[in-house]
Amino acid sequence: MERFKLKNYDSTKIKNLAIAGHAGSGKTSLTEALLYKSGTTDRLGKISDGNTVSDFTPDEIARKTSVYTSLTTLETGEYKVNILDTPGLFDYEGEMIEGIYASGCVLITVSAKSGVKVGTHKAYDCAKKYNKPTMFVVTKLDDDNANFNNVLTQLKAEFGPTVCPVVVPVIADRKIVSYVNLIEMQAYKYVNGKAEPTDMPTAEVAANMEYRIDGLVEAVSEAVAETDEALFEKFFSGEAFTQKELTDGIHKGMNSGAITPVVCVSSTDLAGIDMLLKEIDLLLPPPSEKDAMVGEDANGELVEVACNENDPMTAFVFKTVADPFVGKMSFMKVFSGKIAPNKAVVNATTGAADKIGKLVTLLGKKQTDVSEANCGDIVVALKMNVNTNDTICDASRVVQFPAMQFPKGSYKMAVKAKSQGDESKISAAISRILEEDKTVSYEQDPDTLEQIISTLGGVHLDSVICKLKNSFGVDIDVSVPKIAYRETIRKKVKVQGRHKKQSGGHGQYGDVWIEFEPCVSDELIFEEKVFGGAVPKNFFPAVEKGLQESIKKGVLAGFPVVGLKAILVDGSYHPVDSSEMAFKMAASIAYKEGMRLADPVLLEPIGALNVLVPDDNTGDIMGELNKRRGRVLGMNPSEKAGLTEVVAEVPMAEMADFTMYLRQTTQGRGSYTFEKVRYEQLPANLVADVIAKNAVND
């Protein structure tokens, strides 16, 4: 990697790729194969051995899967290629979003064994949301159960006519004998990982294949013809396209979104990897073509920022790594001008002045110093005071780019330090995690006073716990959050509260009659209707204070009391022994007696649920919500095809594991939001259980 210090690449010679797709579809293995085949690395790492370049953290090695988006860099031909290897597990969706946002093109891996999955669609949808060209890479062709034709048919059926095969395998007797590059119209066979030109498939082989090569060539030509009027006329006249016309047409079609090429590889024996490197050179757009951005200036006016090296510098922080040894690492995509260490900049997001720190490029965890980076490039700045979604720019042109949108964590757990006294360490460590992962949130529940961490799922939470321990030396325990029940009354009562005590010297005497009745209020409503000075006015505040302190704990299970109105109507006092404390105690006695007699009940919090599910799963979800004591209020068609929004109200006590249920039922396609809206009476058959659990907790 030392060569990158010597050569500076302009925006026409840079390619930025994100590799995305369903978990287990071969993203990291593909990254490893590209690095090895390009000569960037001298060995082919394996996930099973824990020695790949892009999965290098202890968590990733232990899980044998990507947890973070990693940056690697290689040279192919005259290009510098930045590769962002993104995780496929849905729990790490935020990492995928960061990688795709910073890319110039998204390579979506699809296993030839298992085909198109939910993660394939998630990666494709995210790429289209950010207007990124896409390419499907069919992987694992060496697997005995691989079936390229099935996958190609599935891709066409699910992603439409833009799907355009470019490299396909020739299969005879269930084995791959060669690969055909449909642009070159040349077949290659692989011997010890090296491509050798070979004859195109014979008529006999072609007749037995599940797809016809000439039919695929026709499909490619038709797709290219749609990109240009002159090419369409040539196609219509029956004339064959030249290799350059095919290359330029696919390139143009990728930029417009009209063509999604399909190539195929085997990352283990490196078959097809050299052709993929060639297609990266020829077909994928450099930043100079696709990296124009629209941002807002200081006045809120829209400004278009072109990828021009002579313009003032703008860069976007798309990812942050909180490294306890190196310090904060800010991954930046440079959109205009040039970036260099020690350059004074403005953070357009916060308005603060800053200075560019040390710049490096990465090969996994290996850092190489960078003296300057041109627009279109991706670099990492060390120890800067910036965060993910910040725009930094030259003071001569302050512009802010739109922030990435991240999914909100819906899997909530209460957090507690394993060792006493570590609470402050937890807060400091989690604040670093929050800088790094925008899908995590951490806040105190105002009702239960528990510290609640929200993640995208159980695996995501495990990774956060692992990072807290390994990187920051913090051990935490997690548990299901407590439910903030409430207590109230259902009937009106009038009770006496009398506090009388004689213990030598002045005694204590307070006597009140209070009416308690239900009302609609979260706060205690206190009134006084005392006649004839039965209770002196100067003791009214003491009575109210005694009640305010008492309602913090109800008589059923110790939960706060709501919906209570208290009216002081009568009482008596002693000219010597009465005091504020005595009347406060008398009010407390009246409260306990009044609550007991006024038909107390438990209230539970109810939340508004909006859940987006595939049409096929609406029945499953509605049945499940009924089991969870929910009320389905209706269904709405979604803007996204094939999805329906189910609107419901569900008790919060029933939602602890809903994230996991929804993911399992919908294979990760479902999502939801859930917000507390009000309290309702807890069904009588559940009261004893709640009281018993609370007694144990106390």
Residue 208 predicted with pLDDT over 80: no
**What is the mean predicted confidence (pLDDT) over 617-637?**
94
Residues 328 and 339: their CA atoms lie apart, in Å, by 18
| CATH classification at residue 296 | 2.40.30.10
* pLDDT > 90 in the chain, percent: 69
pLDDT tens track for 67-80: 899 999 998 878 99
What band does 209 get if pLDDT is binned at 50, 70 and 90? low
Give yes or no: residues 472 and 351 share one domain.
Answer: no
What band does 4 get if pLDDT is binned at 50, 70 and 90? very low
Domain C-terminal end among 479, 497, 527: 479
As to burial, measured by CB atoms within 10 angstroms (0-12 exposed, 13-18 middle, 19+ buried), residue 56 is: middle
Give yes or no: residues 443 and 359 share one domain.
Answer: no
| CATH classification at residue 448 | 3.30.70.870
**Residue with the two structure tokens 């290689």:** 74
Residues 168 and 138: their CA atoms lie apart, in Å, by 9
Structure tokens at 67: 């947890």
pLDDT tens track for 221-242: 888 888 888 888 888 888 888 8
Q: Is residue 527 part of a domain?
A: yes
Residue 696 predicted with pLDDT over 60: no
Structure tokens at 545: 């204070």
**What is the mean predicted confidence (pLDDT) over 422-435?**
87
From the list 33, 29, 25, the residue with the least C-alpha distance to 280 is 33
Residues 104 and 117: their CA atoms lie apart, in Å, by 23
pLDDT of the residue at 203: 61
Residue 673 predicted with pLDDT over 60: yes
pLDDT of the residue at 206: 56
Q: Do 289 and 11 form a contact (C-beta atoms < 8 A)? A: no
Report the DSSP beta bridge partners of residue 359. 381
Give yes or no: residues 250 and 177 share one domain.
Answer: yes
Residues 8 and 24: their CA atoms lie apart, in Å, by 35
Residues of the domain holding 304: 291-400
pLDDT of the residue at 99: 97
424 against 395, higher pLDDT: 395
Give yes or no: residues 688 and 613 share one domain.
Answer: yes
**Residue with the two structure tokens 């507690």:** 416
| CATH classification at residue 591 | 3.30.230.10
Q: Is residue 405 part of a domain?
A: no
- Which residues, in sequence order, are CB contacts of 207 under 8 Å at separation 6+? none
Residue 2 predicted with pLDDT over 70: no
> Number of folded domains in the chain?
5
Residue 129 predicted with pLDDT over 90: yes
pLDDT of the residue at 5: 43
Give yes or no: residues 37 and 167 share one domain.
Answer: yes
Give yes or no: residues 549 and 526 share one domain.
Answer: yes
127 against 424, higher pLDDT: 127
pLDDT tens track for 275-328: 999 999 999 999 988 888 999 988 889 999 999 999 999 999 999 998 877 889
Residue 609 predicted with pLDDT over 50: yes
| CATH classification at residue 202 | 3.40.50.300
Residue 84 predicted with pLDDT over 50: yes
Which string of DSSP letters, residue by residue, matches 6-59?
H----TTSEEEEEEEESTTSSHHHHHHHHHHHTTS-SS---TTTT--SS--SHH
What band does 683 get if pLDDT is binned at 50, 70 and 90? very high
pLDDT of the residue at 304: 92
Domain C-terminal end among 241, 263, 289: 289
List, in sequence order, the alpha helices (H) in 114-271. 118-129, 148-159, 203-208, 213-225, 229-236, 243-256
Residue 1 predicted with pLDDT over 50: no
Which residue type occupies 97?
I
Give yes or no: residues 32 and 177 share one domain.
Answer: yes
Give yes or no: residues 62 and 150 share one domain.
Answer: yes
Residues 323 and 362: their CA atoms lie apart, in Å, by 14
User: pTM higher than 0.85, yes or no?
Assistant: yes
Cα→Cα distances 321→111, 335, 470, Å? 30, 21, 14
**What is the mean predicted confidence (pLDDT) over 517-538?**
90
**What is the mean predicted confidence (pLDDT) over 244-272?**
92
Q: Do 391 and 315 form a contact (C-beta atoms < 8 A)? A: yes
pLDDT of the residue at 23: 93
pLDDT of the residue at 678: 93
What band does 207 get if pLDDT is binned at 50, 70 and 90? low
Q: Is residue 102 part of a domain?
A: yes
Which residue type occupies 7?
K
Give yes or no: residues 228 and 107 share one domain.
Answer: yes
Report the DSSP beta bridge partners of residue 509. 500
pLDDT of the residue at 204: 60
CA angle 44, 47, 52 (to 5 degrees): 50
DSSP letter for 532, please.
T
Mean pLDDT estimate for the chain = 90
pLDDT of the residue at 505: 63
Give yes or no: residues 525 and 610 share one domain.
Answer: no
Give yes or no: residues 213 and 132 share one domain.
Answer: yes
**Residue with the two structure tokens 């060539």:** 217
Q: Do 662 and 648 form a contact (C-beta atoms < 8 A)? A: no
Cα→Cα distances 546→185, 304, 501, 549, Å? 90, 64, 17, 5
What band does 577 get if pLDDT is binned at 50, 70 and 90? confident
Give yes or no: residues 504 and 469 share one domain.
Answer: no
423 against 20, higher pLDDT: 20
- Which residues, in sequence order, are CB contacts of 540 under 8 Å at separation 6+? 528, 530, 568
Domain C-terminal end among 263, 289, 315: 289
Q: Is residue 406 part of a domain?
A: no
What band does 3 get if pLDDT is binned at 50, 70 and 90? very low
Task: Tell me which H or E stretch contains 679.
Answer: strand 671-681
**What is the mean predicted confidence (pLDDT) over 419-439?**
87
